[in-house]
Amino acid sequence: MKDTFIYRTFTSCKFALQIGWKISRKRVITEFLYWFFLNTCRLIISCVLIRFILDLAMKRTGFGKMMLYVWGVVALDSLIEIFIQWFETYVKPVTDVELYAGINKMLYEKACQVDMICYEDSEFYNEYMMAVSQTHIRLPGALEGICQIVAGFTAMIGTAIIIYQIDRFAILFTIFPILGNFVFYGILNSRIFRMEKENIVFQRMADYVNRTIHLGEYAKEIRMTNVFRLLKKQYDRAVVSIQKVIGHYSLGNVILFCMFQYFTFIFLNEGAVLYAGYRVLVSETMVFAQMAVILTTMNSTTWILNGFVEAVTSVVKSSLYIEQTRRFLEYEPAIPEDQDGIVPELPIRSVEFEHVSFGYKEDGYALKDVHFKIEGNQNVALAGYNGAGKSTLMKLLMRLYDPDEGRILVNGIDIRKYQVSAYRDLFAAAFQNGRIFADTIEENVLMGRYTDEEYDRERVQQALKLADIYEEVISQPLQEKTILTREFSKEGVVFSGGQNQKILAARAFAKDSPIAVFDEPSSALDPTAEYHLFENIRKYSQNRMLFFISHRLSSVRDADVVFYMKNGRIQERGSHSELMRKNGEYASLYRLQAKNYLS
218 lies in which domain range? 168-285
Please give the distance of CA 75 from its chain centroid, rounded to a whole number: 47
Indicate if 221 and 131 belong to the same structural domain.
Answer: no
Indicate if 19 and 131 belong to the same structural domain.
Answer: yes
| Crossing angle between the packed helical segments 453-466 and 527-540, to the nearest 10 degrees | 130
Q: Does residue 309 belong to any structural domain of this protein? A: no
- For residue 429, the 8-state DSSP code is E
Query: What pLDDT score was predicted for residue 596?
Result: 62
Pairing of strands 561-566, 569-574: antiparallel
CA distance 93 to 83: 15
Q: Which of 475, 493, 512 lies at the terminal end of a domain, its last residue?
A: 512
Indicate if 177 and 266 belong to the same structural domain.
Answer: yes
Indicate if 406 and 505 belong to the same structural domain.
Answer: no
Indicate if 108 and 228 belong to the same structural domain.
Answer: no
Query: What pLDDT score was predicted for residue 309?
Result: 72
Alpha carbon separation from 357 to 336, 380, 390, 519 (Å, rounded): 21, 20, 13, 20
Query: What pLDDT score was predicted for residue 368?
Result: 93
DSSP string of 546-563, one letter each residue: EEEE-S-GGGGTT-SEEE
Maximum separation of any 2 CA atoms in the chain, in Å: 119
Q: For residue 361, what is the domain's CATH number?
A: 3.40.50.300
Alpha carbon separation from 72 to 43, 55, 69, 80 (Å, rounded): 15, 17, 5, 13
**Beta-carbon-side half-sphere exposure of residue 512 (alpha carbons within 13 Å):** 8
Indicate if 391 and 519 belong to the same structural domain.
Answer: yes
CA distance 325 to 484: 33
CA pseudo-torsion sign 319, 324, 325, 327: positive
CA distance 31 to 380: 62
Residue 99: partners with Cβ closer than 8 Å, 6 or more residues away: 20, 23, 24, 27, 136, 139, 140, 143
Q: For the chain, give me the number of helices (H) and strands (E)?
A: 21, 10
Indicate if 260 and 403 belong to the same structural domain.
Answer: no
Indicate if 386 and 472 belong to the same structural domain.
Answer: no
Whether the link from the prior residue into 527 is cis, omega within 30° of 0, is: no
Q: Does residue 303 belong to any structural domain of this protein? A: no
Q: Does residue 290 belong to any structural domain of this protein? A: no
pLDDT digits (tens, 9 = 90+) for 143-188: 888 888 888 888 777 777 777 777 777 777 777 777 777 788 778 8
Query: What pLDDT score was predicted for residue 287?
Result: 67
Indicate if 536 and 595 belong to the same structural domain.
Answer: yes
CA distance 594 to 333: 46
Q: Does residue 188 belong to any structural domain of this protein? A: yes
Q: Does residue 579 belong to any structural domain of this protein? A: yes
Query: What pLDDT score was predicted for residue 245?
Result: 93
Query: What pLDDT score was predicted for residue 598?
Result: 54
Tell me the pLDDT of the chain (599 aa) as tens digits.
Answer: 556 767 888 888 888 899 999 999 999 999 999 988 887 766 666 666 666 666 666 666 666 666 777 777 777 778 888 998 999 999 999 999 999 899 888 888 888 888 887 777 777 777 777 677 777 788 888 888 888 888 888 877 777 777 777 777 777 777 777 777 778 877 887 888 889 888 888 888 888 888 788 776 677 677 777 778 888 888 999 999 999 999 999 999 999 988 888 887 777 677 777 777 777 777 777 766 666 666 676 666 667 777 777 787 778 778 877 888 888 888 888 888 888 889 999 899 999 999 999 988 766 788 999 999 999 889 999 988 888 889 999 999 999 999 999 999 999 999 999 999 899 999 999 887 788 888 888 988 888 876 677 778 888 899 999 989 989 889 888 888 888 887 777 778 888 888 888 899 999 999 889 999 998 887 777 778 888 888 888 888 888 999 999 877 777 888 899 999 999 999 999 999 999 999 999 888 888 877 765 55
Query: What pLDDT score was predicted for residue 137?
Result: 80
What is the per-residue burial (b if ≥16 Cβ within 10 Å, else e) of 72-110?
Answer: ebeeebeebeebbeebeeebbeebeeebbebbeebbeeb
Query: What pLDDT score was predicted for residue 546?
Result: 93
Closest to 498 (Cα-Cα) out of 519, 523, 528: 523
Indicate if 543 and 587 belong to the same structural domain.
Answer: yes
Q: Does residue 497 belong to any structural domain of this protein? A: yes
Domain count, the chain: 4
Single pTM value for the model: 0.70
Closest to 396 (Cα-Cα) out of 72, 117, 101, 55: 117
Closest to 159 (Cα-Cα) out of 288, 281, 29, 272: 272
Residue 380, H or E segment: strand 379-383
Query: What pLDDT score was predicted for residue 340?
Result: 84
Q: Does residue 304 belong to any structural domain of this protein? A: no
Alpha carbon separation from 278 to 64, 164, 168, 283, 286 (Å, rounded): 35, 18, 15, 6, 9
Indicate if 142 and 280 belong to the same structural domain.
Answer: no
Q: Which of 275, 306, 332 lies at the terminal end of a domain, its last residue?
A: 332
Indicate if 348 and 378 belong to the same structural domain.
Answer: yes
CA distance 573 to 579: 7
Q: Which of 452, 481, 512 lies at the terminal end of a domain, its last residue?
A: 512
Quick check: 325 and 106 in contact, CB under 8 A? no
Q: Does residue 496 belong to any structural domain of this protein? A: yes
